[in-house]
Amino acid sequence: MDKRVLVVAVVFGTLASALTYMFLEGLGGLPGGIVVVLFPGMIFAIIAGGNVHVFSTGVTAFGNFAFYFAMAYLADAIRRRFSA
């Protein structure tokens, strides 16, 4: 495993978590395009909390971190496989 890939994946996941807190806690409202970015974490929070109407921002941020970390890692794995 390349350390550079891990760093990029962590940074990408952290940015997704920061967006989650910024738009769910800080601004109070969600612009239309941001909902698409936060959707994976929101689904995770709804499943973890068991309630569609009330879900935790922290769980949403963790779900977004995990999803976008995995997507960045997977994208690099695919890139390495086809470039070799």
Give the C-alpha separation, 63 to 56, whole Å.
11
Token pair of 37 as six digits: 């970015």
Residue 23 pLDDT more than 80? Answer: no
pLDDT of 7 strictly over 80: yes
Phi, psi of 50 (to 5 degrees): 80, 10
At residue 29, the pLDDT reads 62
For 70, what's the count of Cα atoms within 13 Å in the CB-facing half-sphere? Answer: 7
79, pLDDT greater than 80 = yes
What are the tens digits of pLDDT across the range 28-75? 666 666 667 778 888 888 899 888 888 888 888 888 888 888 888 888
